[in-house]
Amino acid sequence: MTNTPDTLLNRQTQTGNVRLGDDSSIPVEGKGTVNLMGVIPGGTASPIVLENVLYVPSLGNANLFSWCAAQRSGSFYLEGTRDDILIRKGNANGKIVLWAKLEGLDYVIQTVTESAKTHY
């Protein structure tokens, strides 16, 4: 789920509600595809395409990745430890495509951060 419509490619109208962990519901206003540039262990960039990502404007400050939805899609296999989660394409022998590290109480997907330096 994302609260940022600009990240969605091929955005389509979608209505309904999504239920959050505290049992409250918030409205869904669309869905689409997101191209994400993840980082896997060792620092290698890993491009991945996520389909059927929901656009939820009132989501708040963070985008959310559903581990259960990823596994249900049959496209991903998850393995994890207390400190991190690896997401593989397809099955347990598949290529690692995403990596999430435990930060506080949340697992945060590691992504490429774009920056530019200017020298005067």
Q: Which two tokens stand for residue 101?
A: 């590290």
Considering only the C-alpha atoms of the chain, give the largest distance between any 2 of them, rounded to a whole number of Å. 53
Q: Is residue 53 part of a domain?
A: yes
User: How do the pLDDT tens digits run along the chain, 120 residues long?
Assistant: 999 888 899 999 999 999 988 899 999 999 999 988 999 999 999 998 888 999 999 988 888 888 888 888 888 898 988 899 999 988 889 999 999 999 998 889 998 875 445 555
Q: Is residue 37 part of a domain?
A: yes
- The boundaries of the domain holding residue 36 are 5-109
Q: What is the pTM of this model?
A: 0.79
Q: Is residue 118 part of a domain?
A: no
Q: Is residue 103 part of a domain?
A: yes
pLDDT of residue 115: 47
Measured distance CA(48)–CA(34) in Å, rounded: 8
Q: Is residue 120 part of a domain?
A: no
CA 9 to chain CA centroid, nearest Å: 15
Q: Is residue 117 part of a domain?
A: no
Quote the mean pLDDT of the chain: 87
What is the tally of structural domains in the chain? 1
For 60, list phi and psi in degrees, rounded to 5: 115, -155
What is the tens place of the pLDDT at every residue in 93-103?
Answer: 999 999 999 99
